Amino acid sequence: MTGIYIHIPFCVKKCAYCSFVSERVSDERKAQYLKRLAEEIRSGLSARPDADTVYIGGGTPSLLSPKELEAALVPVIENVNLFNPEISMEANPESVTRDKINAAKSLGVNRISLGLQSMSDIVLRKSGRIHTKNDFLRAIDAVYDAGIENISADLMLGLPGQDIDGVSSDIAELKSLPIKHLSVYALKVEEGTPMCGNYEPDADLQADMYETVLTALGDEFPRYEVSNFARAGYECRHNIKYWRLDPYFGFGAAAHSLCDNVRYANPDGIDAYMRGEPKASLPIPSGEQKQEFIMLGLRLAAGISVSEYRARYGEGLFSSAHAAGISKHLKTGALLLEGDALRLSSDAFYIMNTVLTDIL
Ligand code: SF4
């Protein structure tokens, strides 16, 4: 079944490290954007597909008022057949209000992903974030009180002023909150961001921080993907579609879709998108499809299905062009074959790039 992604490209202020497609929010731009978004969604979903996940990301979707959220979400709800859907919305702590969360819940949103990044107000300020730890705690209360128990938080590693002890105490505190899912990303400073040239994270320290997170989360929050940890049953169903190359429709500026081995990319520019410039259509060559299936699937702790590889590509994984690398790493122990599943061993996640280079 397909997933639906909606991009809301507005933020109060650009964070120092941000390279996402987003701009400073204004009521006028939001209104214009939501009008174009609704048009795109209605025409893109005219075949009324079956869907089981919807993800509203950004940007800062929690900047939308209840009416604006309705304008973004209702065109989807009216034009797909939803089956037991997971409907996620990203939210930044400072813009969460009880009214907005209650409205989101009444529209069917049942998962909130909070952009926390750090529990330290000093680290947050140095990173150009505008929320505080208290904003985050207030947001958790609002979401939980609204009856949405599937709550995720994003944490970033390697931010200015962050150290191992800080990360360790963040995790201890997060585990004591009603959070079901954690996404943990290493900061990467992209060109063109305000942080570029002013700060560079220490890769060794980031690796140590990741190890600290992994150990501290332990069996309570098993890692189900390189950067994602969840209590049992709370893995993000929408994001798993990306790693499994399942189909999805993306709407909004810079949104991508994947359908029948063709990737479609909306214009990156918000103005170009609002002018209605067409999406690029990028057929994925067969060799690349196989590589992506392996490369993305091995990010998952569950790994890839050998029988699914055959069903998708009409060849056996162990007689494919990737067989030599797979065989090499089955011998080193970096790869494990368990029934139908080929997966990385827990230790091999640290050398994932080396293993993938050998396989691909
Ligand atoms: S809130 Fe997120 S999308 Fe917005 S500027 Fe900050 S990092 Fe970028």
Tell me the best of 7, 12, 20, 94 to mutate to test the pocket of ligand 1, counting ligand atoms within 8 Å of each CB and taking the most.
Answer: 20
Q: Among 227, 242, 257, which residue terminates a domain?
A: 242
Could you give the CA distance from residue 234 to residue 19 in angstroms, rounded to a whole number?
28
185 lines ligand 1 (CB under 6 A): no
Distance CA 350, CA 56 (A): 31
pLDDT tens, position by position, 244-297: 999 999 999 999 999 999 999 999 999 999 999 999 999 999 999 999 999 999
Residue 264 lies in a domain: no
Listed in sequence order, the residues at least 6 apart from 104 whose beta carbon sits closer than 8 Å to its beta carbon are: 66, 69, 89, 112, 146, 148
- Ligand 1 contact via 303 beta carbon (within 6 Å): no
126 CB neighbour count, 10 Å cutoff: 17
pLDDT at 338: 97
Same domain? For 185 and 319 the reply is no
274 falls within a domain: no
82 part of a folded domain: yes
The token duo for 341 is: 């599943």
Give the chain's residues under pLDDT 70: none
User: What is the span of the domain harbouring residue 215?
Assistant: 2-242
Query: How far separated are the first and last CA of the chain, in Å rounded?
Result: 28
Q: Are 182 and 228 in contact (CB under 8 A)?
A: yes
**So what's the pLDDT on residue 63?**
98
User: Do 200 and 292 sit in the same domain of this protein?
Assistant: no
Q: 73 to each of 79, 100, 179, 341, how far by Cα in Å?
A: 10, 13, 24, 36
- Judgement on whether residues 311 and 234 belong to the same structural domain of the protein: no
Q: Is residue 276 part of a domain?
A: no
Q: Which residues contact 184 (CB under 8 A, 6 or more apart)?
A: 154, 155, 156, 157, 210, 213, 227, 228, 229
pLDDT score for 341: 98
Residues 28, 35 contacting (CB under 8 angstroms): no
3 lines ligand 1 (CB under 6 A): no
Q: Which of 112, 139, 116, 138 is nearest to 127 (CA)?
A: 116
Q: Whose CA is nearest to atom 5 of ligand 1?
A: 14
Kindly state whether residues 150 and 96 are assigned to the same domain. yes
* Residue bearing tokens 């989807």: 76
Q: What is the pLDDT of residue 31?
A: 97
The pTM of the full predicted model, rounded to 2 decimals, is: 0.97
On whether residue 17 sits in a domain, the answer given is yes
139 shares a domain with 218: yes
User: Does residue 123 sit within a domain?
Assistant: yes
Q: What is the pLDDT of residue 26?
A: 95
| pLDDT at residue 355, as a whole number | 97
Distance CA 351, CA 358 (A): 11
Q: Which two tokens stand for residue 16?
A: 């120092």
Angle, helices 66-79 vs 98-106, to 10°: value is 10
Of 68, 99, 93, 97, the closest CA to residue 6 belongs to: 68
Domain count, the chain: 2
CATH number for position 295: 1.10.10.920
